[in-house]
Amino acid sequence: MGGLRKKKSPVRGENAAGPRIMHLNTARDWRGGERQVLNLALALRDLGVEQLVVCPPNSDLSRRLEENNLPWRAVYMGGELDPFAPRRLEKVAREFQADIVHAHTARAHAHAFRLKKRMPELKLVVSRRVDFPVRPNYFSRKKYLSPLVDRYIAISRRVREVLIEDGISPEKIGLVYSALDYESYASVPSADSLRLEFSLKNNELLLANVAALTAHKDQKTLLSAIALLPEPGEKIRGKKFPEYRFFILGEGELREALTNQAKASGLLDSGRLIFTGFRSDALVFYRLIDVYVMSSSEEGLGTAVLDALAFGLPVVSTAGGGIPEMVDPGKGGLLSPVGDPEKLAENLTALMLDPAARRRMGAYNLKKVKQFGISSLGRGTLENYRLVLESTRGL
């Protein structure tokens, strides 16, 4: 069948126990959601769960799954109304003998919704990773409010609240936080090469934002805040404001608009702001920087913030979406209202002037991040699978 990788799927044995999970992800590129699918697959493997990840051919996720020796199949899936996708997915689901299809993207939800119409015996679980309301169009409302969906898994309390506001029963929504394998970060290489690449000085304070350049990440507010920072060397409350460099790592549709904003404010000419574009070595930057900064107006949870916690960094951020569920104000970082560059600049200034506070907050975050390990992701998700099956399997 077109787009189907010829790779043998696991087949149920006579003594197989527990649910068989078919994950469905439709993204070709690598972002936070795809990273969470990989983390979940790794965590469930550790728990002995039989699973298969279905994703597009030649996707970044498929390559990572292959590298980690996780079972996967490549299936071509067009837009939400692709008439052939459900048939392709049904073939894989029947061959794998899936009990649950777990949709990890909005498009995957649409395909799984129509797959379940063809296979009513399947249970349908949908992960919701964003904290903005469901689109008001007919099909979006239909697929989210349909009884065909057996359970939603929200990645933060804020996402759960939005689903309830959209009319979904609270009893139908589980909460399982996004997670990361923070122990593996010990193997991330040093940032010496980055210091050479960007000709950094030892006395510079280094800050970074790692996020796609899209509207809900709101780097427009971030750039406005940076423009409000004091000049290096200026006396602020009896202290000299430090020399600094600010890195923005990411690509997106707003790259040109943000670059123009930075030029207009003089930030680019000053050399203190650097747009790096997408970096495959983004984690190495966390070894380089002193402060992690986030400016999102909406954020399901924000795994880039979890990365900062794992590297023992203080966080300055807006209080968008689920970010306050990771950053404890005054303990692990400083939070400001969404879309408020003045308050964001004030918090940045305070932390940039206070190395003791940075060290204290970084140490706190190293402990905080342990709440977001991948083992809790696996156990929490497996419990939600058991809930949707217990009426028919007694699990």
58 DSSP β-pair partners: none
Alpha carbon distance 138, 318 (integer Å): 33
Q: Kindly report the backbone phi and psi dihedral angles of residue 175, in degrees, each rounded to the nearest multiple of 5, phi listed first.
A: -120, 115
In a domain, 275, yes or no: yes
Do residues 261 and 198 both lie within one domain? yes
In a domain, 7, yes or no: no
In a domain, 37, yes or no: yes
pLDDT at residue 4 tops 60? no
Do residues 284 and 335 both lie within one domain? yes
List pLDDT tens digits, range 344-354: 999 999 999 99
Do residues 222 and 290 both lie within one domain? yes
- pLDDT at residue 132 in the model: 78
Q: Kindly report the backbone phi and psi dihedral angles of residue 361, in degrees, each rounded to the nearest multiple of 5, phi listed first.
A: -70, -40
**How many domains is the chain partitioned into structurally?**
2
CA angle at 30 for the pair 25 and 36, rounded to the nearest 5°: 60
Do residues 135 and 220 both lie within one domain? no
- pLDDT at residue 10 in the model: 45
Do residues 153 and 218 both lie within one domain? no
Question: What average pLDDT score do residues 256-265 get?
Answer: 96
Structure tokens at 42: 């790794």
- pLDDT at residue 69 in the model: 96
Per cent of the chain over pLDDT 70 is 94
In a domain, 9, yes or no: no
In a domain, 348, yes or no: yes
Question: What average pLDDT score do residues 216-235 get?
Answer: 96
- pLDDT at residue 133 in the model: 79
Do residues 225 and 255 both lie within one domain? yes
| Cα separation values, 385 from 21, 36, 95, 366, 378, Å | 9, 17, 20, 30, 11
Contact between residue 157 and residue 178 where contact means Cβ atoms under 8 Å apart: no
Q: Write the DSSP assignment of 109-134 as a string of letters.
A: HHHHHHHHHH-TTSEEEEEE---SPP
127 DSSP β-pair partners: 153
Do residues 170 and 242 both lie within one domain? no
Q: Is the pTM of this model over 0.75?
A: yes
Question: What average pLDDT score do residues 183-197 get?
Answer: 94
List pLDDT tens digits, range 139-176: 777 778 888 999 999 999 999 999 999 999 999 999 99
pLDDT at residue 1 tops 50? no
Per-residue pLDDT band for 298 (boundaries 50, 70, 90) equals: confident
Question: What average pLDDT score do residues 349-366 get?
Answer: 98
Per cent of the chain over pLDDT 90 is 80
- pLDDT at residue 12 in the model: 43
In a domain, 382, yes or no: yes
Q: Kindly report the backbone phi and psi dihedral angles of residue 155, in degrees, each rounded to the nearest multiple of 5, phi listed first.
A: -90, 0
Which domain, by its residues, includes 333? 182-371
Per-residue pLDDT band for 229 (boundaries 50, 70, 90) equals: very high
Considering only the C-alpha atoms of the chain, give the largest distance between any 2 of them, rounded to a whole number of Å: 75
Contact between residue 213 and residue 219 where contact means Cβ atoms under 8 Å apart: yes
Alpha carbon distance 67, 301 (integer Å): 26
pLDDT at residue 110 tops 60? yes
- pLDDT at residue 14 in the model: 39
In a domain, 47, yes or no: yes
**Which of 5-9, 85-89, 188-192, 295-299 is least confident?**
5-9
Identify which has the larger pLDDT, 317 or 12: 317
Strand-pair category, 239-240 with 235-236: antiparallel
In a domain, 112, yes or no: yes
Do residues 257 and 379 both lie within one domain? no
* 3-class secondary-structure state, position 247: strand
Do residues 63 and 161 both lie within one domain? yes
pLDDT at residue 13 tops 90? no
Per-residue pLDDT band for 138 (boundaries 50, 70, 90) equals: low
Do residues 211 and 134 both lie within one domain? no
List pLDDT tens digits, range 304-343: 999 999 999 999 999 998 999 999 999 999 999 999 999 9
Contact between residue 129 and residue 36 where contact means Cβ atoms under 8 Å apart: yes
- pLDDT at residue 17 in the model: 53
Contact between residue 330 and residue 273 where contact means Cβ atoms under 8 Å apart: no
Average per-residue pLDDT for the chain: 91
* 3-class secondary-structure state, position 92: helix
Q: Kindly report the backbone phi and psi dihedral angles of residue 206, in degrees, each rounded to the nearest multiple of 5, phi listed first.
A: -115, 130
* 3-class secondary-structure state, position 113: helix
Do residues 129 and 208 both lie within one domain? no
Structure tokens at 45: 């493997």
Alpha carbon distance 349, 206 (integer Å): 13
- pLDDT at residue 300 in the model: 85
Contact between residue 290 and residue 251 where contact means Cβ atoms under 8 Å apart: no
Do residues 102 and 188 both lie within one domain? no
Per-residue pLDDT band for 394 (boundaries 50, 70, 90) equals: very low
What number of residues does the chain have?
395
Q: What is the CATH number of the domain that holds 155?
A: 3.40.50.2000
> Between 355-368 and 303-310, two packed helices, what is the crossing angle to 10 degrees?
110
Per-residue pLDDT band for 393 (boundaries 50, 70, 90) equals: low
Q: What letter would DSSP give residue 236?
A: E
pLDDT at residue 40 tops 80? yes
